[in-house]
Structures are given as structure tokens and as C-alpha cells.
Amino acid sequence: MMHMGTNDSSQTTKGTHSMKHPSLRAYLYTAAAAALLLIPLQTRATPGTFVPAAGRRDMAYDQQRGVLYITSGADLLRYSVTSNAFLPSWSLGGSLAGIDLSPDGNRLAVADSTRTEGQVWIHDVDLQTGVSRKAYFDRSFGEGGTFSVAFGGDGAVVTSSTFEGSGWTPLRRYDPATGATSVLTPGGMGSDYVTQDCMLSASADGSVIGFEESDISDGRFGRYRVADRSLLRKQWYADGTSWFNYEIGVSRNGTQYALPTYGGAYICDADLHKNAIIGAYAGGQPVGVAYSPVADIVYFPWAGTNEIRSYDTNTLKQIGSFDFGGQFYSPGNHAFQMGRLKMSRDGTLLFSTVNGGVRFMRVADPVPEPTSALLLLAGAIPAIGVWRRRAARQ
């Protein structure tokens, strides 16, 4: 496998000024972001950039190198977003499925739905050297191979698996640094396993990993907390979604979860309590989900339309839409169909699987470095509040 160099051209160039007080810097960024949210988002009619990949399943964007990785059959396709051209693909073998990028951006975990008689595995790809190795796990009864992967903030990977038929599979935690593997036990029905084809999604800060169980009608789901390795699971019809779940998304700090289903997308709080539904049964509804890693925004591909719609996570009101050039439809209770979403780590690029490949577009502008204009804005916000209080006393 060839060594791959670093491409920094996709990163935003930073200013040359410095700031002595990190707290002031953070305040200015917050003020700038708050000001930007006051500007209403408009519908974007451009379909963005299409990446042809007929056999695509999942994807991950490497912002550090400007490369989009796509799992397709036995190959890991590599597409340069900066030059809009494919790079030589990497052949890992097997039948590749879910993919995720490590917190430091230097490692890929790739699920593989093939197996031997006694083992299943994921591919552990070092992006600094281009070297790939398999991380092997003892195969459980009926297990067909690995399916989904997600990195936590500690650098370890949580994995799920397929089943040959209909049944229960383990959630595993694998640490690439030590090679240590353990089976996570959420408890409840299923002998401490989860149903097959379980989808995983990590919060941007790496504090939690959400999981949903696709192949069971009570729509059970849960979260793995990285700090203490604890699991919380919601099951049965009262606590689950009561639908076959499509996927799961987790907000940037793990305080909100979204689960698209045929009955709409269920929105849950940090303790997994359901508190809202976006969309409608058998009608307009989300078929996938991705949360912005830097803002209080969630994105949903909308069944029956060409749109990916953005919502404010605090008000759950729609704030924008983006035309992705092809109609989205219900995935039929199976993930990795049309509408599988991923985002760049700066929250500016949105990627979606579409018919025949992947399409991406810019949905937000980079948050600028603090400037004198932002200093004025930051001072104006509390000043307005003082003026209003004074006016009220007159």
C-alpha cells in the first residue's frame, strides 16, 4: 500500500494575530457564531459535487488531507475534494461496510462483513503510512462479520456486526493502541447482545457513542459513555421508538439524539428520553441524520424530495434546505442506502450517499478568526442589553 502525503490545502488559513486570553478568544467565537445564527438560512438550489461510486456503502471525510474515503466492495475508494479527482484506491479485501476516522485524524476503522469459521475483523488503516492491518475478534454464534464502527474520544473503536439470519451480535470495544478487545453488555433481552446491523454514531467531542438496533420492532437504542464505559439502553415499546430504526445521530456534545424511522425522527435528550418527533408516519420524514460538529444544527435527508433539511437543535424548527439533485426515499429498514450523511469536522461540508455515488456541497462557511469587527460585535451585544434595561426604568 502506497504512502499518502498530507494535503493541507483544504484547511482554512488562520490569521497571524495572537490573543493572550483564551477565554476572551472563546467568547468572541461564541459571539460571532451567535451573530451568524441570526441570519436566516436560505434554500440552496445547487446540487453540489457528484462523486460516482456505484457500489458505495459508507464514507468518511479526512479534512486534514482533503480526501473522501468510500467503502465499495473490497476497495477503499479515495477522492480528493481539493482537486475533484479520484486517487488510487486501496484494496483491503472482503466486503467493506461502515467506516470512521479517529479523533486525531490519522487512522481509519473499516468494518468488513466477511468472516472465517472462527473470526471476524475490522481493518485498521494508518493514514500516515498507508499501512492496513486486520484487528481480529473471536466470532460469536451466527455472526456474519462486522457492520458499523465508531471512534470514541479515547481513541478506541466500538464495533457492531451482521448476523447470518436474524439474531443477536456483540458490541465490541477495540483499542488500536494496545490491541485490547472487550465485549460491551447493554443488558436486557438478547443475552447482553444487540440485534444485527446495529448502527453507531459518535458525538463530535467523542464523549458518547449512540447505537440503534435495526432489526427489532420495539426500536430499541442506547448510548455508550466513553469516560466510564457505561451503557444506557432503551427497549420495549414504551421506551423504544416502537418502529424499526433506520439510523442514529448524536449532537456534538452528546446532549441530543435523533433516530429516523418510518414514523418520523424521534428526538431524545441526553438521558434518552423521547421529547419530540420530526416528520410524519408514511409521509414526509427524515431517512438519515447528521449533526453539525460545531453548531446547534442537525441535517435530515427528506423522503419524497431532493432536499436535505437543516433544523435548529434548540427550537427544532427548520432553518434551511439544500437540493442534492436526486429524490430520497425510505431505506426499507436497512442502513447504507440513499441519505447516509457525514460532515467535515469544521461543519462546512455535507456528504450524502445518493443514487450511483456520493454528493457533497458546502452548507456553511468557516467561522472566521476574531477581528476588530467581532470585538465591536461582542461589546455591542451586552451593551444592547444594558440600554434596554435602562430604557425600561425610564
Gap between the Cα atoms of 221 and 248, Å rounded: 8
C-alpha cell read off for 71: 467503502
Which residues, 6 or more positions from 156, have their beta carbon under 8 angstroms from its beta carbon?
A: 173, 174, 175, 176, 226
Predicted TM-score (pTM) of the model is 0.84
Note the pLDDT tens digit of each residue in 332-389: 877 898 999 999 999 999 999 999 999 999 999 887 655 544 444 444 444 333 333 3
pLDDT at 23 over 50: no
Q: Greater confidence, 281 or 17?
A: 281
The DSSP annotation for 100-120 comes to EE-TTSSEEEEEE----SSEE
State whether residue 35 is helix, strand or coil: helix
Q: What single-letter DSSP state applies at residue 228?
A: T
Across 115-119, average pLDDT:
97
User: Is 279:293 a contact under the CB 8 Å cutoff?
Assistant: no
pLDDT score of 45: 57
User: Is 226:254 a contact under the CB 8 Å cutoff?
Assistant: no
Gap between the Cα atoms of 340 and 321, Å rounded: 16
Gap between the Cα atoms of 124 and 111, Å rounded: 9
User: Is 34:77 a contact under the CB 8 Å cutoff?
Assistant: no
pLDDT score of 367: 73
pLDDT score of 335: 87
Other C-beta atoms lying within 10 Å of the C-beta of residue 36: 14
pLDDT score of 388: 34
Q: Which amino acid is at 48?
A: G
Note the pLDDT tens digit of each residue in 134-173: 999 999 999 999 999 999 999 999 999 999 999 999 999 9
